[in-house]
Amino acid sequence: MAIRSQVLCALLALIVTFGSPIVAMAGDLPDGSNFLEQTFPDGLIDANQQGFALEPLEGKIIGLYFSASWCRGCVAFSRILVPFRDKHSENFEVVLVGFDKTSEDMHAYMKNHEMNWAAIPYDSSARLALKEQFSVSEIPHLIIMTSKGQVLTKDGCQQVELMGDEALAHWQKLAGSSEEGSE
């Protein structure tokens, strides 16, 4: 137990030192802190560059979608992800972490592929912080997590492609199992 406390203290020290907007994962936020607010300090926007409230993300499974319009694999996967998200939007939401060269390109990509979900503002430091946090080196990449910050899988693209609609049920089961285990 003492080793776990030391590891948590060391991890928190590193996070504070490097100023990442991600304060903690898997429900380790201090009392009163909101994971979504910490992760998206500059808020979220939609394809029209209008504000996107954080509240609709609460209680849902979230997919952090690292993608760009210039990436053929991303465009191909977006054709799968958009209908998947739209079909399951009551329980699943996507947040685009754009890798395009400009904000205009990112928003055009969202509009062209009917991505009716949120994106991290292009100029937000959270975009690069999330890329580093999850060591994203290739796109498309889909990190699946709870709205409280618990990472369920880093292989979201593969799971959506291989499992189809069953992927969401799998993630919900993972989220439920870990919540029961932490009580």
User: Can you give the pLDDT at residue 178?
Assistant: 59
Evaluate if residue 174 carries a pLDDT over 90: yes
Residue 71, CA distances (Å) to 22, 60, 74, 149 in order: 27, 28, 5, 27
- To the question of pTM greater than 0.75 for the whole model, the response is yes
Beta bridge partners of 63: 94, 144
Mean pLDDT of 86-115: 96
Confidence of residue 176 (pLDDT cuts 50, 70, 90): confident
Q: Are the C-beta atoms of residues 142 and 66 closer than 8 Å to each other?
A: yes
Architecture of domain 2-182: 3-Layer(aba) Sandwich (3.40)
| Each residue's pLDDT tens digit, 101-137 | 999 999 999 999 999 999 999 999 999 999 999 999 9
| Each residue's pLDDT tens digit, 10-64 | 433 333 233 333 333 444 443 334 889 999 999 999 999 999 999 989 999 999 9
Mean pLDDT of 152-157: 95
User: Can you give the pLDDT at residue 52?
Assistant: 93
A 10 A CB-CB count for 25 gives 18
Q: Are the C-beta atoms of residues 48 and 68 closer than 8 Å to each other?
A: no
CA angle 95, 98, 102 (to 5 degrees): 140
User: Can you give the pLDDT at residue 35?
Assistant: 87
| Helical ranges in the chain per DSSP H | 2-18, 35-39, 72-87, 103-112, 125-133, 156-163, 166-182
User: Can you give the pLDDT at residue 179?
Assistant: 54
Please give the Cα distance from 56 to 92 (Å, whole number).
Answer: 10
Tell me what the pLDDT averaged over the chain comes to: 83
Question: Can you give the residue ranges of every domain in the chain?
Answer: 2-182
Please give the Cα distance from 127 to 148 (Å, whole number).
Answer: 18
Beta bridge partners of 182: none
Q: Which residues of 101-116 are buried (b: 16+ CB within 10 A; e: fewer)?
A: eeeebbbebbeebebe
Please give the Cα distance from 62 to 144 (Å, whole number).
Answer: 6
